[in-house]
Amino acid sequence: MRNDTSGSEQTAYRLISAPLELKNKSPKTVLEDDLGSYKHSEWRFYELRANQNYFEYPNTSNMEPGRAFWLIVKEPGKRINTGAGITIRTDTVFSIFLHPKWNFIGNPFNFAIPVQNIRLKNTGKSPTLRVYKGSWNDPVNDPVGEMQPFDGYAVKNALTFQDTLLINPEITDTTSALHKAAHDLNAKTMLWSIRILGQCQEARDVDNIAAIVSSASDSWDEMDQPEPPVIGEYVSVYFRHPEWEKLATKYCTDIRPKPTDGEIWEFEVKSNISDKINLYFAGLESVPEEDEIWLIDEVVPIAQNLRQNKSYVVAASSPEHPKRLKLVVGKRDFVEEKIADTQVIPTTYELNQNFPNPFNPATTIRYGLPQAERVTLKIYNLLGAEVVTLLDNELQTAGYHVAIWDGRNKLGEVVGSGIYVYRFRAGSFTSIKKMALIK
């Protein structure tokens, strides 16, 4: 097995599995002879248990066929020799027991298995498999079509009791075609979709879909896919729906029926990385031209026309306090009513105190313009030396705006703790305020 998991904790974790019955299933035997003794700085290995908590090597289970584990390796090009083993019988269906919520599974056979050969015992349906290649795959536009040997996959058991995943190794010429047909049919029924992509440094979350499908339910249905587990240094974007009263409360897809006037998708953004989070909204061209598309940040508060600007930046906060935003799509009257509280035009120039303050690592600076104006915003240290320029004579419309400082200087280097000064200029108006960066 060749390792392709080298790199940082933001991109390089992979789910791995062994597609055979190993003679010695101990992770120590399988991994240490190729990767060396266990060191966090060299490689890491995790198992997801039934309680949805991670257990790290050496407190992990044996590498049984059908079971997958997280692995990351610092040095590229490493090869892992699993050692001697026996191939799994191909004349019978292979069973994998699934505990409630998320399970990490692997292909027990040493050849690819189409998803049409996989079904859940309780429903008879093929499950949605998720694969991680630096970020989780998009289950709508890039679904998993087959299980590859040595790879690992995440699968959700939505029941409150144990289910069984049945894998049929008998391959026919029609299985791949059946999967493709099912995917095409799903795409044809989608009236439009917007994809929300989040990025914090190298970490990405790209599988978040807000969409309209005529046959969708107003509440939960099988098109609403749960948000997969996070690992390492991550960014996570998801739609939160505890009112659906399912095992999952966070979803990466939120599919709605066609509305009369418009719809609102509430979503959250979080990261355990000390930096700002960039959001990008793709697929806006699929939304009918007569519909408006706006993003609302109620804390600031600000509303942004996404047809004019498809990106938005938020200051990273702790995973325990995610950033909450709203995506509003619909007819003009519907949207104007929803964004009314954020569309106030100030009567004078304003520069607000940054928040949070003190902060670590990023903070938001809000300012208001009574008319369109060119704006400059710079950060200085207490010695008067310029640290970074956030805005440089940029023309901006009347209204409220925000800028994010990520605690870095003009060279991209993280600055130290201390008091900093931000200087705002709009036309002839100038204002200066202090802020504290604490690490």
253 dihedral zone (left: phi>0; alpha: psi -120 to 50; beta):
beta
Q: Are residues 214 and 274 in the same domain?
A: yes
| pLDDT, tens digit (0-9, with 9 covering 90-100), for 240-266 | 999 999 999 999 999 999 999 999 999
Please check whether residue 173 lies inside any domain of the structure: no
| pLDDT for residue 4 is more than 60 | no
Q: What is the pLDDT of residue 7?
A: 58
CB distance 62 to 27 below 8 Å: yes
Co-location of 120 and 251 in the same domain: no
For 96, phi then psi, to 5°, come to -125, 120
pLDDT of 343:
81
Query: Residue 384: is its pLDDT beyond 50?
Result: yes
- pLDDT tops 80 at residue 303: yes
- pLDDT tens figures, 156-177: 999 999 999 999 998 765 444 4
Q: Return the percentage of the chain with pLDDT > 70, whole number.
A: 95
Q: Using CA atoms, how far apart are residues 153 and 19, in angstroms rounded to an integer?
A: 13
Per-residue confidence (pLDDT) for residue 169, from 0 to 100? 94
Q: What is the mean pLDDT of residues 401-417?
A: 94
Counting the structural domains of the chain, the total is 3
Q: Is residue 308 assigned to a domain? A: yes
Mean pLDDT of 275-303: 94
pLDDT(6) > 80? no
Same domain, 200 and 337: yes
For 91-185, list the strands marked E by DSSP.
94-98, 101-106, 113-114, 118-120, 146-147, 152-157, 163-167
Query: Domain ends where: 134, 167, 200?
Result: 167
Q: Is residue 243 part of a domain?
A: yes
CB atoms within 10 A of CB 331: 15
The per-residue pLDDT for range 311-349, each reduced to its tens digit, is: 999 987 778 889 999 999 999 999 999 999 888 889 999
Choose among 155, 141, 189, 149: nearest CA to 169: 149
pLDDT at 179 (0 to 100): 45
| Sheet architecture: strand order including 54-56 | 14-16, 69-73, 43-48, 54-56
Please state which of the ranges 52-56, 61-65, 151-155, 315-319 shows the lowest mean pLDDT: 315-319
pLDDT (0 to 100) of residue 178: 43
pLDDT of amino acid 55: 97
Is 5 a domain residue? no
**18/158 same-domain check:** yes
Q: Which residue is listed with tokens 């027991």?
A: 97
How far apart are alpha carbons 227 and 156 in whole angstroms? 10
- Give the distance from CA 113 to its chain's centroid: 27
Residue 274 has pLDDT above 50, yes or no: yes
**Res 5: pLDDT:** 54
**C-alpha closest to that of 271 among 198, 211, 192:** 198
Question: Does the residue 180 lie in any domain?
Answer: no
Location of structure tokens 């991670």: 54
Residue 374 lies in a domain: yes
pLDDT at position 173, please?
52
Instruction: Please say whether the beta carbons of 370 and 300 come within 8 A.
Output: no
Domain residue limits at 236: 192-342
362-391 in b/e form (b: 16+ CB < 10 A) is bbbbbbbbbeebebebbbeeeeeeebbebb
Q: Is the pLDDT at 184 greater than 70, yes or no?
A: no
Rounded Cα gap, residues 355 and 300, in angstroms: 9
Same domain, yes or no: 358 and 327 = no
Strand 203-213 vs strand 253-256: parallel, antiparallel, or unpaired?
A: parallel
Angstrom distance (rounded) from CA 375 to CA 368: 11
Would residue 93 count as lying in a domain? yes
Share of the chain above pLDDT 90, in %: 82
Let me know whether 207 and 82 are in one domain. Answer: no
pLDDT at 83: 87
Confidence check: pLDDT of 189 > 80: no
Same domain, 332 and 416: no
Is residue 155 located within the same domain as residue 202? no
At residue 439 the predicted structure's pLDDT band, cuts being 50, 70 and 90, is: confident
Q: Ramachandran region of residue 315, left (φ > 0), alpha (ψ -120 to 50) or beta?
A: beta
How much is the average pLDDT of 9-34? 94
What pLDDT is recorded for position 181?
A: 39
Residue 425 and residue 372 in one domain: yes
**What's the pLDDT at 332?**
96
